[in-house]
Every structure is written in C-alpha cells, then in structure tokens.
Amino acid sequence: MSASAIVTGIVSLLLGIVGLIMLPRAWSGYFTRRETRYRGRLRSHGELTYMWWPFGNATRRGLIRGFGPVAIAWCGAVIGFWVAELNGGQGPHPSHVAKLAAVLTVVWVFVGLGLVLTIMFFNWPKIIVPPPHRAEPGAVSEWRTKRGNKPNGR
C-alpha cells in the first residue's frame, strides 16, 4: 500500500466522520436556520456551506435536502476503499474480496447519487428527506412554478 493511498484513505475517513457527526444536525434542520450574517444579510448554514454551487438556488436547496444520502454514500465509499485496499494483495492481480468490494462500492455510490438526484429534483422519497424539508417543492416543481408565472410576452 502506497503512502498516497494511506493519506487519501485517512483524509476521506475524516471527512466521512465529520459527515456522520453532521448528519443528526442536518436531520433536525441545522442547514436551514438563518443564524449567520454574511454581506449584510442573514444566511442559513446551508447557503454558506454550498455558496460555491454553480447550478442555481433551487438545486442548492435540493443538495441541502440530500445531505443525508451524500454523507452515507461517502462513508460507504470510504469503507469500500479500505476493504479493497487492504485486501488487494501485493501482486498484479487483486483478490476476489478486493474486486467484490470495488463493485459494491461503485453500486453503493451510484445508489446514493441516484437518491440525491431524486431528492434534489423531486424531493422524493420523503422518508429520507429531513423532516423540516419535507414540505418544500423539488427543483423541477420550482422551475415549473416560475415558468408558469411569467407573462406570455404578447
């Protein structure tokens, strides 16, 4: 195992632990409380956390709603990384356990990504959306509402 793999694994593990620590706070609505003043306006922790997000406010709110699956998918990826790395062996061919861990990690990450996208765009499934966000519309619903409110231009 190389030094870069160890450093990558440790940094990823620390980020996963921070995500798991933040998960109960995110579930209780921490990212939506407007408590911090930034550039003269009260901003929520979610707005400040994802202020770099370039795809608009509707999808930013969706990403805040989808923090739970992101954190869990990240932790699953870190576990899969460590299992594959520790069982990879020293030869040119990885072991069967390492191959299985890699496949399961890829599947786990794609399931997590799919859940984040459905939460972001449709705010569904409600059971994994944090309770303070369950009444919010998804990004697609917001876009359709904004589009319906525009005048025809005739």
Per-domain residue ranges of the chain = 3-149
Using only C-alpha atoms, what is the Rg of the chain?
A: 19
Please give the single-letter amino acid code of residue 76: G
pTM for this predicted structure: 0.85
- What is the chain's pLDDT, residue by residue, as a tens digit (154 residues)? 789 999 999 999 999 999 999 999 999 999 988 888 999 999 998 889 898 999 999 999 999 999 999 999 999 999 999 998 888 766 678 888 888 999 999 999 999 999 999 999 999 999 999 999 999 999 999 999 988 877 765 5
Round to whole Å and give the CA distance between 78 and 105.
8
Burial (CB < 10 A; 0-12, 13-18, 19+), residue 135, is exposed
- 30-52 residues labelled b (16+ CB within 10 A) or e (exposed): bbbeeeeeeeeeebbbbbebbee
Q: State the Cα angle at 22 between 68 and 116, rounded to 5°.
A: 20
Instruction: Collapse the DSSP code of 149 into the 3-class scheme (helix H, G, I; strand E, B; otherwise coil) and give the result.
Output: helix
SS3 percent helix, strand, coil of the chain, rounded to 5, is: 70, 5, 25
